[in-house]
Amino acid sequence: MKDYRITKEHVWGGVLADHRGALAEKLRALSAGGLNLELIIARRETPGQGTLFISPLRTLQELESAEKAGLSRTGHMRTLRIEAPDTPGFGARLSTALADAGIDLTSYSALAFGGRCVTSIAFESDADADRAKAVLEQLFGP
């Protein structure tokens, strides 16, 4: 397995009702469509309404399942997924390189498990995501 893997991912999202079981309903619908998601973010945005974000969606069947579940491709989330060895200071190195390059982040999440970590970073624009990918590939290798 390659030590570092940096990919652009499309994030899909939608409104999540603010009631018990709403997330379970959406995830059941997505699961029934065969989706194997790597990223799920659900949160209450305002009283009475939440937001759900999922990624990745790569096949036509996955896209259709997401649409049937009431989700759509988010136009405002340009995301990089970075898979890497779980090493102390990785997040600091990554975020410092992007800051030094003058690239703003809109969202950052990371998880480590089994000696690996996966970081998901969202940017304001496709251009920022492309610039960030180039910076990170220079730092960690393509």
Domain boundaries of the chain, sorted by first residue: 11-74, 76-140
Beta bridge partners of 13: 53, 72
Classify residue 124 by its DSSP letter: S
pLDDT at position 12 is 87
pLDDT digits (tens, 9 = 90+) for 20-69: 999 999 999 998 888 888 889 898 888 889 999 998 888 888 888 899 88
Sign of the alpha-carbon dihedral angle for 133, 91, 108, 28: positive
The percent of residues above 90 in pLDDT, for the chain, comes to 51
The amino acid at residue 84 is: A
Q: Closest Cα partner for 14 from 58, 55, 47, 60?
A: 55
Predicted confidence band of residue 1 (pLDDT cuts 50, 70, 90): very low
CB 78, CB 125: distance < 8 Å: yes
User: Is domain 11-74 annotated with CATH 3.30.70.260?
Assistant: yes
DSSP state of 3: S
pLDDT (0 to 100) of residue 47: 86
- Asked whether the domain spanning 76-140 has the same topology as the one spanning 11-74, the reply is yes
Under 8 Å between Cβ of 105 and 98:
yes
CATH topology for 76-140 is Alpha-Beta Plaits (3.30.70)
Q: Which residue has the tokens 């997040």?
A: 91
Helix or strand or coil: residue 66?
A: helix
- Locate the DSSP E strands across the chain: 5-17, 39-46, 49-55, 72-85, 107-113, 116-123
Cβ pair 124, 106 in contact under 8 A: yes
Instruction: Write down the mean pLDDT value for the chain.
Output: 89
- Is the pTM higher than 0.75? yes
